[in-house]
């Protein structure tokens, strides 16, 4: 479904974030991108919704190259991609439910239908009872769950998560991973960038490791000895 072919990304300041990365991601897969901070995980994720464009190489999504996609079409591409951020990026000037409704409103859905679907998404992440709260009053874990509800509310085929557990303790991190796993099990292709290799391994999914912009290994965590014990 998503293919990276010999992708390079060099920033204008000369920093080479990705070097010759080739990667195939299948439909319905959940894949972990791991590596130290600055290894290029975020950059790789940003290439998918065209927040950045590669300097070289090709990216094929659903059979079509998105490398030279016209600016005009980028919003439509992004409506098919759900995004979860380390810092949640919720809007604090409106209640939880309105945050979750945002992607639906953008796609031009009827207001009542928006509300219904947002409530369903909040129900899935277990926060329906807090729909009218201000995001500030929520705990970090809850805020991240709202972020996930917002990312999946318009049922995108692709879900990108950049360090979704970065600010959370291990127990909450596990909860978030399980939640993402659940969405993946209903058919969403999920790409999760995390520096927490231990946690990623526990999930027993394919994991690729980036090191200084290069893809080091691509394997399923099943093959890693000791995985699944903790």
Partner 1 sequence: MAKQARAATSRVSQAIRLRSWISHHFSCINESLVRLFKSPLASLLTMAVLAIALALPGGLYMLTQNMLTLSGHWETDTQISLYLREDLSDQAAKNVALDLQRDSRLVNVQFMSRDEALDEFKRMTGFDEALDKLKHNPLPPVILISPRNDLITDALTSLAEELAERPQVELAQLDLEWIKRLNGILEIVQRSLLVLVGLLAIAVILVVGNTIRLEIENRRDEIVITRLFGATHTFIRRPFLYDGVWFGLLGGLLACILIYASLWTLGEPVGKLIDLYNSNFQPIYPGIPFIAALTSFGTLLGYLGAWTAVSQHLYKIEPE
Nearer to partner 1, 64 or 129 (CB): 64
The SS3 assignment for 44 reads helix
Nearer to partner 1, 107 or 119 (CB): 107
Distances, alpha carbon 13 to alpha carbons 10, 16, 121, 146, 223, in Å: 8, 9, 41, 35, 39
Under the binding rule (CB under 8 A), the answer on residue 15 touching partner 1 is no
8-state DSSP, 223: G
Pick the piece of the chain touching partner 1 (CB under 8 A) from 11-19, 76-84, 126-134, 190-198: 76-84
The token duo for 113 is 């239908």
Binding mask 153-182 for partner 1 (x = CB under 8 A): ------------------------------
* Rounded Cα–Cα distance for residues 210 and 218 (Å): 9
* Rounded Cα–Cα distance for residues 194 and 173 (Å): 11
Residue 33 and residue 215 in contact, taking contact as beta carbons nearer than 8 Å: no
Binding partner 1 (rule: CB under 8 A), the pick from 93, 132, 171, 229 is 93
Binding partner 1 (rule: CB under 8 A), the pick from 6, 15, 36, 110 is 110
> Nearest approach, Cβ of 92 to partner 1 (angstroms)?
8
Helices of type H across 153-206: 170-185, 197-202
Under the binding rule (CB under 8 A), the answer on residue 5 touching partner 1 is no
Pick the piece of the chain touching partner 1 (CB under 8 A) from 4-12, 59-67, 108-116, 179-187: 108-116
| CA quadruple 82, 86, 92, 97: dihedral, nearest 10 | 40
Binding partner 1 (rule: CB under 8 A), the pick from 78, 115, 202, 214 is 78
Under the binding rule (CB under 8 A), the answer on residue 53 touching partner 1 is no
Under the binding rule (CB under 8 A), the answer on residue 128 touching partner 1 is no
Residue 166 CA to chain centroid, in angstroms?
13
Catalog residues that contact partner 1 under the rule CB under 8 A.
46, 49, 51, 74-81, 83, 89, 91, 93, 102-103, 105-111, 150
């Amino acid at each position: 479904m998503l293919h990276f072919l010999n992708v390079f990304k060099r920033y204008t300041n000369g920093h080479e974030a990705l070097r010759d990365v080739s990667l195939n991601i299948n439909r319905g897969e959940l894949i972990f991108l791991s590596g130290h901070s600055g290894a290029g995980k975020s950059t790789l994720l940003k290439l998918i919704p065209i927040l950045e464009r590669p300097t070289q190489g090709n990216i094929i999504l659903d059979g079509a190259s998105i490398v030279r996609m016209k600016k005009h079409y980028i919003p439509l591409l992004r409506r098919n991609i759900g995004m979860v951020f380390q810092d949640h990026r919720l809007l604090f000037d409106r209640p939880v439910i309105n945050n979750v409704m945002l992607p639906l409103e953008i796609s031009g859905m009827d207001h009542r239908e928006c509300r219904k679907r947002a409530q369903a998404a909040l129900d899935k992440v277990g926060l329906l009872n807090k729909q009218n709260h201000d995001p500030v009053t929520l705990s970090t874990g809850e805020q991240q769950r709202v972020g996930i509800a917002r990312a999946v509310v318009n049922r995108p085929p692709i879900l990108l998560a950049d360090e979704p557990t970065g600010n959370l303790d291990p127990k909450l991190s596990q909860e978030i991973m399980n939640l993402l796993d659940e969405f993946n099990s209903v058919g969403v292709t999920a790409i999760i960038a995390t520096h927490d290799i231990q946690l990623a391994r526990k999930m027993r999914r394919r994991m690729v490791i980036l090191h200084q912009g290069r893809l080091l290994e691509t394997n399923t965590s099943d093959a890693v000895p000791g995985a699944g014990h903790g």
